Amino acid sequence: MSVDTSGFTHRFVDSSGHRIHVVEAGQGPGVIMVHGFPESWYSWRHQILALANAGYRAVAIDVRGYGRSTKPAPIDAYAMTSLVGDVVEVINDLGPDPSVVVGHDWGAPIAWNTALLRPDRVRAVAGLSVPYSPRGDTPPLDVFRMLAGDQIFYIDYFQEPGVAEAEVEADLASWLRGFYFTASGEADLSAAPMSMVTPGGQLRDRFQLPEEGQMQWMSTTDFEFYLGEFERSGLTGGFNRYRNITRDWQELAPWRHAPITVPAFFIGGDRDGPTQWGAESIARFASSLPQLMGSHILDGCGHWTQQEQPAKVNELLLGFLSSL
């Protein structure tokens, strides 16, 4: 189902010399929405109007490296602390009051860490797909390599600049379609997981493709929007987020095992890999999110939570916001 986005306002916020594209509607308390990989502000198209109609100032951003936001060349420009800084600047641009921050996929860790590092500017936080997991004692890549065995975990596969980009650029449209479908609730879960790459192979080797050429939750118009964004920008900015995973672990050392103290909320899918991998993190929410106000796993939902089940996500998010 496509959404009419013609009434949304587009503008830019300066973040230490970086241009952050924001799309907004409505008036009231601020709700900042942060997308994941490989997406854009458009992944929140179903939520912006729903939140605006409910009395909130709904603001979806293009994370740096995506869409119309700045795309710095250095890999370290995509460190978590820098992306948290971008979100804080958007909050500050809205006014003196703190905002609620909602994130999906990589946007969830950005949202969680914004609440962790700047609780004075975050009224509450919600994560979709990826649960909050405090900074631990072992570098993440070491964990991924141990779990992968003789395979390569996709985050590890993304580390070497140029490798994933070459795979994508060989056929951008089919790569995006395969990535979106294989991670969705429509894919065949009995197939080999997309998250692992065979040495010498590519991530796309395990992609599934929809029989009819499109997905139930993503119209042709929606797909063409994403394709157009990445035809212009490429995916290097998105891959550079993954390439900071060790730097993030090092820089967040002062917050080792630290809980998030603001009101929190989580929504995952029972067919979503990151939600399933995060089962232990979800089980620890009582200590890591002491102000947790709800944790929901949606039946039949894959990775693209707010796009696959927008009505249910809107209902849950509005319930969370109204309870604050």
121: part of which helix (H) or strand (E)?
A: none
Contact indicator for 301, 186 with CB cutoff of 8 Å: no
Structure tokens at 236: 């290097």
First to last CA, the chain: 30
Catalytic residue among 62, 86, 105, 156: 105
Distance of CA 200 to the CA centre of its chain: 28
Closest CA to 308 of 227, 219, 188, 229: 219
Rounded Cα–Cα distance for residues 301 and 9 (Å): 30
Residue 21 bears catalytic tag: no
14 is catalytic: no
Please list, in sequence order, all residues whose beta carbon lies within 8 angstroms of the beta carbon of residue 47, skipping any fewer than 6 positions away.
33, 58, 60, 102, 306, 310, 313, 314, 317
Catalytic residues: 105, 303
